[in-house]
Amino acid sequence: MSKNNVVRVRGLKKWFPVRRGILAVFLKGEQEYIKAVDGVDFDVNAGETLCLVGESGCGKTTTARTILRLIEPTEGSILYHGEEITTLGKEQLRKIRTKAQIIFQDPFEVLDPRMSVRSLVGEPLEVNNLASNEKELEERVLEALKEVKLTPAEDFARRYTHELSGGQLQRVAIARSLILRPDFIVADEPVSMLDASIRTEIINLMTELQHLHGLTYLYITHDIAQARYIGNRIMVMYLGKIVEGGPIDDVIQEPLHPYTKALISNVPVPDPTVKRKRILLPGETPTPIDLPKGCRFSPRCNEASEECKRQEPELREVKKDHWVACYKV
Amino acid sequence: MKVLEVENLSTHYQLGRDTVYAVDNVSFNIHAGETFGLAGESGCGKTTVAKSVMRILPDNGLIATGKIRLDGQEIVGLSEKEARKFRWRKVSMVFQYAMSAFNPVLRVGDQIAEVLREKEGCTKNEAHERVKKLFEEVGLEPSRITDYPHEFSGGMRQRAIIAQALACDPKLMIADEPVTALDVVIQGKILDLLRKLKEKYKLAVLLITHDLSVIAEESDRVGIMYAGSLMEVGDVVSVFKDSLHPYTSKLIGAFPNVAGKKTKLEFIPGTPPDLISPPSGCKFHERCPFAKPICKEKRPKQRQFDKEHLVECHFAGELDLRR
């Protein structure tokens, strides 16, 4: 182990079977699969923020949920602090989950409107029997609310979700995952539902909490510009595979994979004096059922040659810590 | 030539006994061949402006005061019957939700043909021929006019909606969050298409979005809305590079930039106000770092700075808004 990693993922696959009618089962022999995640390897190092970016349907959320076993993986290994978690039973998994938490995109959906903020934030402690008495529970809830800057905490604890704004709700969701004192948090588009003026506050809060508690983040987003401001490293996913990964500034300033290049060139820039040329990709992302032969990006790639169509390129280290799955680099 | 002139527009919604002051004294205009970007956070009244111009406010919505001239014609006060005559012919709209804009049980081509038959009195065959041409114009296979909406991807549906908005050769096209639900690669293609069509047909485009990056790349002039008021209007470079309103400056600074230098992202403490009882004076004063007593007492008048750069702030030009 070269670096101190919190999570190590190897050969992770998640294939969802395509549901078929009874007739199709007889007429066509083979079961088809949606290959949402189709063999990914990566490490999340202690104390870093690793961003996972890609377009909708590329498998980033499935990857995130699979490594917490909210979705069961089809194949592959997931090590959490060196411990294989794909084979753990329910009780052991529960222990891991107090240390590895997730923050979802939409706090409106996650938080039960019939519960007060106090019960929402205290629930993880109660479920896991981690508070010895009412008093301790109350103290920990208030402490968590203060940490996410919902003050006066006593006042916020009494409120219900409809009395809070979107930004405040997301803070409640963060407090809820922090109260178990985790060391690893998967954040799945945590600010996409919020207005721009509020996003920065949440991003700053997450960074602050990271330093305070030595947290490690796997940060999922479709917004590469945003990733640039929160991540240390970035991985770009396309159709269930990681096509490029490396230190955030390297990848964003000098993308090497043709897909990453196109993706970044299409991100609009909030500066009218900067004129950039959009790289247009032909067609649209195919479904992950019938994957193209060879490199899965080759049908849309303007640099593709025969070689690309024959065999799928593996990730290789092109520069220090900068990995690309492309023959042409 | 001015295609759209909005003058002191105020639009309110009645909610039980309460009145929501959704749009409050907003003025701007759009010329032919120009894209006017209207930006602001959710709930600031952008879409209400669009609905006022289209005259498609819900039953509890009312244009309280102001004038809207579309291609020279005053449209506030027109009856619904008269409004039907200009709607879609002079002004059309690309809606936000590409997924739900079409009826799922009718063929896409038929739905667009319906507009042509209703508005232009085309026969069925004529209408279908024109829909095929429109499909070609927006980059769709003409043979796909017989497809159902579910057979189209998100990007294709957005193209079909644009085809529909073009159908009656309007002067003004309102695009309300046209790319918000799309991935960046497709977003880029749709924005390119809108720009191409604007140039070809000398369309006036009202581009509404919360995404200032899209506004920066696609607009000629911009308006920044906050809590129902238009805080700043001007050409895109002046507004972005020499912002005069603190809100504009902070909001632009809150957007991450994938290119260039990485500077600290800004944020605005607090949340936008409730428009049932909007703050007194300048609506931004509660969240403004530069606010002084006068900002709470008096609503600032719109003042003109160089060229067509207009701003509603007591201290415009005196503040250090460098980012």
Using an 8 Å CB-CB cutoff, list residues of chain B that contact chain A.
41-42, 153, 155, 183-189, 191-192, 210-214, 216-217, 219, 236-237, 240-241, 250-252, 254-260, 262, 265-269, 271-272
In angstroms, the separation between the Cα of residue B186 and the nearest Cα of chain A is 8
pLDDT tens for each residue of B254-311: 999 999 888 889 999 888 899 999 999 999 999 999 999 999 999 999 999 987 899 9
pLDDT band at A4 (very low <50, low <70, confident <90, very high): confident
Q: What is the residue whose two structure tokens read 């870093």?
A: A48
In angstroms, the separation between the Cα of residue A322 and the nearest Cα of chain B is 19
Q: ipTM score here?
A: 0.89
Closest partner CB to A264 (pick from B211, B237, B258): B258
pLDDT band at A28 (very low <50, low <70, confident <90, very high): low
Q: Is A183 left (phi over 0), alpha (psi -120 to 50) or beta?
A: alpha
User: Under an 8 A CB cutoff, do B210 and A55 touch?
Assistant: no
Tell me, what's the pLDDT at B253?
94
What is the number of structural domains in chain B?
1
Average pLDDT over residues B164-179: 94
Note whether A106 contacts B: Cβ–Cβ < 8 A. no
User: Under an 8 A CB cutoff, do A284 and B153 touch?
Assistant: yes
The secondary structure of B19-56, three-state, reads: EEEEEEEEEEEEECCCEEEEECCCCCCHHHHHHHHHCC
Q: What is the rounded CA–CA span in Å between residue A191 and residue A202?
A: 7
Nearest to B210 by CA among A107, A278, A194, A205: A194
Is it the case that residue B123 has pLDDT exceeding 80?
Answer: yes
Average pLDDT over residues A30-46: 93
User: Under an 8 A CB cutoff, do B267 and A274 touch?
Assistant: no
Give percent above pLDDT 70 in chain B.
99
Cα dihedral A169→A171→A172→A176 (10° resolution): 140
Give percent above pLDDT 70 in chain A.
98
159-178 of A, contacting B, C-beta below 8 A: 165, 167
pLDDT tens for each residue of A57-99: 899 999 999 999 999 999 999 999 999 999 999 999 999 999 9
Tell me, what's the pLDDT at B98?
65
Is it the case that residue A181 has pLDDT exceeding 90?
Answer: yes
pLDDT tens for each residue of A130-140: 888 999 999 99
For residue B111, tell me if it sits in a domain. no
The pTM assigned to this predicted structure is 0.92
Record: fold of A5-17+32-110+182-324: Rossmann fold (3.40.50)
Tell me, what's the pLDDT at A1?
40
Domain with B83, as residue range(s), is: 2-90+209-312
pLDDT tens for each residue of B61-110: 999 999 999 999 999 999 999 999 999 999 999 987 766 789 999 999 99
For chain A, what are the domain ranges? 5-17+32-110+182-324
Tell me, what's the pLDDT at A290?
85
Interface test with B, best of A269, A280, A287, A297 (most B CBs within 10 A): A269
Cα dihedral B291→B297→B299→B304 (10° resolution): -60
Q: How many CB pairs under 8 A join A and B?
A: 118
Tell me, what's the pLDDT at A2?
46
User: Under an 8 A CB cutoff, do B188 and A225 touch?
Assistant: no
Is it the case that residue A283 has pLDDT exceeding 90?
Answer: no
Tell me, what's the pLDDT at B96?
76
CATH of the domain at B34: 3.40.50.300
